[in-house]
Amino acid sequence: MEEHDLTKNQPTVVPGEYATHGSYRRPEPDKMAVLSGTYGVSIFFRRWAAWMIDFILIVFGYGGLVYFAAKKVSEAETPNMGMVVMFFLIGSFCYYLLLEGLTGYTLGKFVLRIQVVNGEGKPPGIVKSLIRTLIHLVDTNPLLFLGLPAGICVLVTPRKQRIGDMAANTYVVKVRDLGKAGRKKTGIFAGAIILMTIISAILAVSLISSLITQITKPEVFVSKDDQFGVTAPWSWSRDYTMNEEADISIKNEFTERYLIVLSEPKSDFDSSMTLREYKQIVQDHIESGLKIPQSGSASDIVVNGYPAIEFTLKGDVDGAPIMYNVTTIETPSHYHQVLAWTYASRYGRAQQELRKIRDSFREMNML
């Protein structure tokens, strides 16, 4: 009987790549795919925490660097925000592209001890990282669905992959499951991460401090004729509906504090007019609009070198008790009245701020 070699004409199996099943061959899963399939929900929380760390680093660290660099180059108080946004987006893109492509890490992933790898457990390389990063702009973008697509995918897919991972055939695994990394490579990366963190922290503090300073910076409110002005805290704003004749009309709507400045040229009065006489004219006019007016004693003061008289008035306006702080000021060419008021019950807490704004009154060439 003729013997036959049963091994002839049989499909060749490449170890690690294919497994036989009947008369066909099917791919054997990547080692990292098998590893990823063993993870539970904890990998989601690690990835989410890592994303938050990277988000803070990019926004406050790199974002601050770009902002201050643009401000320095342009030598302007507020740089060209279009350029700032453009460089911010380019830098953010490169952050993920290069770090994840070459090392598998970002700052967040390094801290949480997770790493992006290919099927062999190595850093994915630039091409795969490019695919992940491009899709990163959609599935983890905080401005688009708050990154929900990525979170949902990681939770429901068998291998805990987001859309970018599935497209690039990459995985995010725990570093401890990859074996012992080279000390030199890990040490260099750790040093770079620590340096980046320190720089980012300094920039973040500087950026936040600068933003707070800009937001809370006192504002100079100038009269309609640009001759006089007062300085008020950032919470104050203009409102000429209070008195259409006012040269300056401002308010703090939240604390219900109000202040107007009315200026009149000395040429409108007799040359013998004195500041005290002007003060009495102002007082009589205000009292005529109040029910049961009660005036306080008048005090001679100086406002930025100008002679002035301060007094208080209390009275009902539409049934509400109002307390006024009134100051008449004489400058070489004008008489001014600075009229500040709030509810009588709140005047004790408000008088210091109202007087501070009043004391800032000055000619524009002195601002």
Rounded Cα distance between 311 and 290, Å, is: 16
pLDDT (average), residues 13-38: 60
Instruction: Examine the fold and report which residue of 169, 197, 215 is the final residue of a domain before the chain moves on.
Output: 215
Which tokens belong to 63? 């974002």
Q: Is residue 319 part of a domain?
A: yes
58 and 125 in a single domain? The answer is: yes
Q: Looking at the predicted structure, is the pLDDT value of residue 170 above 50?
A: yes
Q: Is residue 24 part of a domain?
A: no
Total domains, the chain: 2
Residue 252 structural domain: 220-366
Please report, rounded to a whole number, the percentage of residues in the chain having pLDDT higher than 70: 74
Instruction: Examine the fold and report which residue of 152, 187, 215 is the final residue of a domain before the chain moves on.
Output: 215
Q: pTM for the full model?
A: 0.49
104 and 177 in a single domain? The answer is: yes
234 and 191 in a single domain? The answer is: no
Provide CB contacts within 8 A for 99, sequence distance 6+: 105, 106
Tens of pLDDT along 202-258?
665 666 666 666 666 788 999 988 999 999 998 899 998 888 889 999 999 889 999
Inter-CA distances, 88 with 2, 82, 92, 247, Å: 77, 10, 6, 43
